[in-house]
Amino acid sequence: MKYLPLNPEIFIQNRKRFVEKMDKNAIAIFNSNDELPANGDSIHRFKQNSDLIWLTGIEQEETMLILFPDNPDPKYREVLVLTKPNELKEKWDGHRLRSQEATSISGITTIIWLDTLDGMLQPWIHLADTIYLNTNENDRKSNLIQVRDYRYAAEMLERYPLHNYKRSAKLLKELRAVKTALEVEVIQKAINITDNTFRRLLQFIRPGVMEYEIEAEILHSFLSQRSSGEAYGSIIASGDRARTLHYVENNQECKDGELILMDFGAEYGHYCADLTRTIPVNGKFGRRQKTIYNACLHLHHYAASILKPGISILDYTEKVGDEATVVFQKIGLLRKSDVKNEDPNNRAYRKYLYHGISHHLGIDVHDLGTRTEPIKAGMVFTIEPGIYIEEEKIGVRIENNFWITRNGNKDLMKNIPITVEEIEALMKK
C-alpha cells in the first residue's frame, strides 16, 4: 500500500458495531473479492471487497473474516483468515501478510491460514443457529456476474440447509452510512490531497492544454502525496463536453473562452474524496459564465443549508428543485409558463439539472445508505448541483463533501477555493 498505516481502532470499532447488530448465537462470514481475469494471462488490478475493508482494513486477496461473538472459545470469536505465505508466489507477486502484520492492520489477534479453515469452520457452524452471509446490495449495482460472495452463499446453503440465514448487507447498509470520527479523519486526508491537487491545476491550466494532460497532473499529484490513486475515473470536460455527466474520454483541447468542468477525487486508505470545480480555461470568467456559475453556487449553498438530520434525500432533492426553479427563471432559462405547465414527474428545471444533488460517500464513492429514510448524524454526503445548457454549450457543476452533525453539517472541503473571485485570483498567479 502507498498510504501510511491507518489506526486499527477504525476497524475494531466497525466490527464492534456490526456484532452488536447480530442475532444471538449467530456467525457471520465475509469473503474477499475475486481476482478477475483480463486478457491473455493477465488479471485486473485487485480491488478488495468494500465490506471486508470496512471490517478489517486488509486488502490482500483470498482473505476471509469470521465473526462468532457467542463462540464458547473466546479465542475464536473473531478470526481473520489469510493465504499462507508461499515463497514461489512471493517471488512473482510480492510480499504476503504475516500474522503479526495482519493483526497490526486489523486489530484481530486470531489469524489462521486458509488451508486450515474447513476443519475449524464446520464445528463453529454446528454451534450457531444463524449464519450471516454477505452480498453486494448497493442500489446502484448493475453487474450480474456471479462473484465470490454469491458463489459462497450458494455453497453454504447447499452444505447447511437447515440453518437460519440472514443478509449482512442489510446491516452494513445502515452501519456503513454512518461514519465514525476516525473514518472521517481518513476521508479528510483524501480531501486534503484533492485540495492540494486542485490548487496545482489552477496554476497549470491554460488555453491549448489537453484534457488528458490535466488528468495526468491529477494522477501525478495524487500518487506523490501517498494516495492510492483516483477514487474514480477523473472527468475532465471542457466546453460543451461538460454537459456529459460521465465524460471519460478526456482527449480534447481546452480552448480559450471555454469553461472546464473537473470532477475528481483522491483515494486514501480506501476512503474517497469527490470534488467538482468548473473554472475558466483562460483564468477569467465571462459575464454569462459568471452568472451561471454563481447561480450554481447559490444552489450549492442552499442545499448545504437544508441538508440536516431528519430530512430524506428524496425530500431534500425536491426542495433543491424548488429553489432551482426560482433560480433558473432569474437567469433566463425558464419562463413562468414552463413552470406552470410542468409535468410533476418531470419538472421543468430537470431540463437543466438532470441528476441528483447528493449521494453517500465513504469507502465507495457512491457509498451505502438509504435515500428514503431520514438522514442521520455521522453520514457523509456530496453536494453537487449543476446547470447544463445545451443552447449555450455550457455545463457547470460545483461539488463539496459534507459530514452531517447533530444540528446541521460540516463542510469538509471548506478550504478549497470555490468562488469566482478565489478561482480567478489563484489562476492569475
CATH of the domain at 122: 3.40.350.10
145 has pLDDT over 90: no
Q: Is 366 part of a structural domain of the chain?
A: yes
Which residue range is the domain that position 199 belongs to? 181-428
Which CATH number belongs to the domain containing residue 225 in this structure?
3.90.230.10
Is pLDDT of 141 > 70?
no
Write the CA distances from 271 to 132, 255, 267, 304, 319, integer angstroms: 25, 34, 6, 22, 29
Query: Looking at 119, 152, 177, which one is the last position of a domain?
Result: 177
Average confidence (pLDDT) over 42-49? 91
Same domain, residue pair 115 and 199? no
Residues 137 and 187 reside in one and the same domain: no
In the chain, the amino acid numbered 284 is K
Q: Is 4 among the domain residues?
A: no
> What mean pLDDT is predicted for residues 76-102?
94
Q: Which of 177, 192, 207 is the last residue of a domain?
A: 177
The number of folded domains in the chain is 2
Mean pLDDT of 233-259: 97
The secondary structure of residue 379, as a DSSP letter, is B
* 72 lies in some domain: yes
pLDDT of residue 37: 86
Angstrom CA distances, 11 to 15, 52, 194, 417, stand at 6, 10, 24, 33
The answer to whether residue 1 sits within a structural domain is no
The C-alpha atoms of residue 151 and residue 154 are separated, in whole angstroms, by 5
Residue 76: predicted pLDDT: 98
Question: Does the pLDDT value for residue 347 go beyond 80?
Answer: yes
Dihedral of the alpha carbons of 76, 74, 16, 108, in degrees to the nearest 10? -50
Burial tier of 337 (Cβ tally within 10 Å: 0-12, 13-18, 19+): exposed
Q: Comparing 142 with 370, which gets the higher pLDDT?
A: 370
Gap between the terminal Cα atoms of the chain: 35
- Looking at the fold, whether 270 and 195 belong to one and the same domain comes out as yes
Distances (CA, A) of 218 to 21, 192, 212, 236: 40, 13, 10, 10
User: Do 162 and 302 sit in the same domain of this protein?
Assistant: no
How many C-alpha atoms does 50 have within 13 Å on its Cβ side? 21
Same domain, 130 and 214: no
Q: Looking at the structure, tell me whether residues 172 and 203 fall in a common domain.
A: no
CB-based contact 65:49 (threshold 8 Å): no
**Residue 89 confidence class, pLDDT cut points 50, 70, 90:** confident
Average pLDDT, whole number, for the chain?
Answer: 96
Q: Is residue 26 part of a domain?
A: yes
Give dist(CA 105, CA 59) in Å, integer: 10
- Residues 102 and 220 placed together within one structural domain of the fold: no
CA distance 365 to 275: 11
Is 2 within the bounds of a domain?
Answer: no
Residue-level pLDDT at 143: 66
Same domain assignment for residues 129 and 142: yes
Query: What is the mean pLDDT of the segment spanning 273-301?
Result: 98
- Do 213 and 287 sit in the same domain of this protein? yes
Asked whether residue 187 falls in the same domain as residue 93, the answer is no
Considering the domain architecture, whether residues 102 and 225 belong to the same structural domain is answered as: no
Predicted confidence (pLDDT) at residue 322 exceeds the cutoff of 80: yes
The Cα 424–Cα 399 span in angstroms is 18
Cell of 294: 454563481
| Residue at 3 is within a domain | no
Last residue of a domain, one of 177, 192, 223: 177
Q: Say if strands 386-389 and 394-397 run parallel, antiparallel, or are unpaired.
A: antiparallel
Q: Which residue has the higher pLDDT, 141 or 111?
A: 111
Average pLDDT over residues 12-23: 98
- Give residue 205's pLDDT: 98
Mean pLDDT throughout 383-401?
98
Q: Average pLDDT of 189-212? A: 98
Residues in contact with 284: Cβ distance below 8 Å, sequence separation at least 6, in sequence order: 424, 427
Q: What per-residue confidence (pLDDT) applies to 405?
A: 97
What average pLDDT score do residues 185-199 get? 98
Lowest mean pLDDT: which of 66-75, 137-146, 345-354? 137-146
Percentage with pLDDT > 70 across the chain: 99
248 and 101, same structural domain? Answer: no
Assigned domain for 385 exists: yes
More confident residue, 429 or 408: 408
* Distance in angstroms (rounded) separating the CA atoms of residues 307 and 314: 11
Q: What does the pLDDT look like over 154-172, one tens digit per residue?
A: 999 999 999 999 999 999 9
Q: Are 176 and 369 in contact (CB under 8 A)?
A: yes
